[in-house]
Structure 1
Amino acid sequence: TDGNPQETSWELRVDSKVKLRSGSLSGHTYTTFVEEICVPDDACVRFRVFDTEGDGLNYPGVFALMLNGEEVARGDEFGNSWSYDVTNCDGFVTQPPSASPVTQSPSASSKSSKTM
């Protein structure tokens, strides 16, 4: 988190409708959170992070998204929100981020389940 964790929240949706998990980071200044979630291979998954003040995470705050042990996205100053889609589960196809700057370097192998 950054110095204003009350501004930040996140969600993970499956098939764009079902909210699998979500969270708020309020009250935890400059804290690292790790959440591991397994989803079926055939699910389409969207990760979103939100900031109510529209400035994303401020230094040294940062988020990282891992897929099957590989970092697929990392970001900080993303504005109001940022999202990452996993739309093809035999590998995957990504959508461009909804805000920048974010570095993406997707690479993953097909497995029977995904860990996020």
Structure 2
Amino acid sequence: MAKVVGAVKKWTKAETNDLIAIAKQLNLVEQSDSKSRRNKDVMQQAVNEMRKKGHNYDLCEVFFRREWRLLKSQYNKIKGGLNRSGASSKGLDWPHFEKMDEIFGKRPRSLVQCIML
């Protein structure tokens, strides 16, 4: 079970691994980008999947969203560093890099929408 430190929940390695697996399984990135679904609904679906995996503590969509954003931020920081000239492979030892790269690796940095006339 996760520990709560102050107002911040400390995720265990197993919880984080399950979060990433669920994000991949549910195509969380694509669903979050969708204009037809509310982000909150997508996150709640992921929370329900976490509960099915046995994480039955008081996990709410807010905690899930916060942890997902932290993981994305860490991944983007590492990935951005790799794209710089003279960059080292520092950060590739982050235990979640490969799993996150499977989710985000082929995704463009920015989604540009264009209108064709």
Calculate the TM-score normalised by the size of structure 2.
0.22
Q: Which has the higher helix share?
A: 2
Bigger CA radius of gyration = 2
**Structure with more contact order per residue of length (Cα contacts < 8 Å, sep ≥ 6):** 1
